[in-house]
Structure formats: structure tokens, C-alpha cells
Structure 1
Amino acid sequence: MSTRTFRITLRGSFDGLTEGQRAELLAAAPAHDMLRAEFTTEGHLTYDIAARPFFTFRFLAQGEKEEDVLDATARAELAAEAWLAERGYGFKQLRSQAQDMSSAPLGKRQRREAARGAA
């Protein structure tokens, strides 16, 4: 059986932050800049708290069956909630979206490379 790669994106907004928590997030903001966004197994957080209260976690997971994306998404949601709870950050409207990369359409360069490999 082949391994499938899943990209899971969780979006939400911080809620009820204290001034101290807000200052903490602002101080750590360079490490969570949107331009550094990546999908990782432990989850990567991005936000711009100076502009708006929204955040995004990006997770990378693997499974063997298409249905494994449901378990991977649930694990990602729990991991994001745990990270926020450990720091006492309130949040709301957490929603997730997952993509099975084995079923993602190929880009122009990938199609060209696939055509070369088939020739």
C-alpha cells in the first residue's frame, strides 16, 4: 500500500487575550510570520496579531487510506487546541480543511515532468 500525504490547515481567531498574552505574541511574531509558513508534522503557527486576531496552524500528516485523513485532521485539531490551551490563549471559530496530496491536481511544471518521464 502506498503512503498518502495530507496537508491540514486550521484557522481560527484569538479571543479574550490579556495585554500580557498579546505582548507575548507580538514578541514572538517574527517566528510566526506568514511569509515563513510551512506544513510540518508538529504543526506550524502563523499570525499577524498587530493587524488582526486571526491565526493559522499548518500540519503535515500521512496515512495509507483515504479515510485516514479524518483521523489526521482530528489529531491536528487536538494538537492546535492543546498548544493554545497550554499557553492560556483563548480562541474561537476553529475550523479545519484537509487535502490529500495524492489527489491534488498537478501543476504545469509537474505535468511537463510527468510527460517527460512517460516518453
Structure 2
Amino acid sequence: MATQHTYRVIVRGKWDGLTAPARERLLAEVADHGLSQMRFTPEGSLAYDAALHSFSYRCVIVSDAADGEELAAALAEEQAEHALRAAGLGYRELRSTATDMDTMKINRKSR
């Protein structure tokens, strides 16, 4: 069995072709998707502001360590695309960054 690693992935993108009802819905829910609501979760967390220019989607991906951050980023982009399409929201220019939490070095302050 391959070793599994946990990746935190941020997918960033821009809104595109939002319909009037979609814009109204996003603006009505903007308080629930601000900076204070950003979380890394397996199901994903969408964050944006009232300008409705860009967004970020944060998620946790668990995959084989041998596949690396590139696959984790691709899986996260697929997850974000699926969530946005399911919500009827248009997007473009997705790009992502992944961090392998199992290899991340933590610098502890010495006393």
C-alpha cells in the first residue's frame, strides 16, 4: 500500500459570465464567504468578496505521496470545478498551489 499524504490546496480563479440571479445569490451570501470563513476542509471552502472579481477555494486532498503536489492540485481544481458548476457559477483562469502537510517543516521557537 502506498503512503498517503495530506495536502492543503488553494485554488484561485476569477468569476466569469455570472448571471444576474447568481450575482444576487453570491452577494446575499458574501458575509458567509469572507476572510474569516476560510477553512481547509475535505469538502472545500469558497471565499470571495463583494466585488465579485475573484475567489479562492480551499480544500484538503489526501493522495499517494508518490503522486506529489501536482496531482493534489489537479484533484483540487477538479473538485472546485465540480462545486462551482453544481452551484451554477461561471469561472475562469483556475490556478492552484498545494502544500504537503506531511513534509512541511515546522520551526519551533526555542526558549
> Do both proteins adopt the same fold according to a TM-score greater than 0.5, normalized to the shorter chain?
yes
TM-score (norm 2): 0.84
Q: Deviations over 1:27-52 (max 9, x none)?
A: 1112211112110011110000x224
Question: Between Structure 1 and Structure 2, how many residues are aligned?
Answer: 110
Q: 1:64 to 1:83 in 2, by over 3 A?
A: closer
**Which 5+ residue runs of structure 2 have no aligned equivalent?**
none
**Which 5+ residue runs of structure 1 have no aligned equivalent?**
none
CA contact (8 A) 1:63 1:69 kept: no
Question: CA separation in 2, counterparts of 1:100 and 1:89?
Answer: 29
Please say which structure displays the higher CA radius of gyration: 1
> In the alignment, which residue of structure 1 is the partner of 2:15?
14
- Give the RMSD, CA atoms, in angstroms: 2.2
Question: CA separation in 1, counterparts of 2:24 and 2:63?
Answer: 38
Q: Deviations over 1:7-42 (max 9, x none)?
A: 111000101112211000011112211112110011
TM-score (norm 1): 0.79
Partner of 2:102, secondary structure, is helix
Residue 20 of structure 2 is aligned to residue 24 of structure 1:
no
Greater helix content: 1
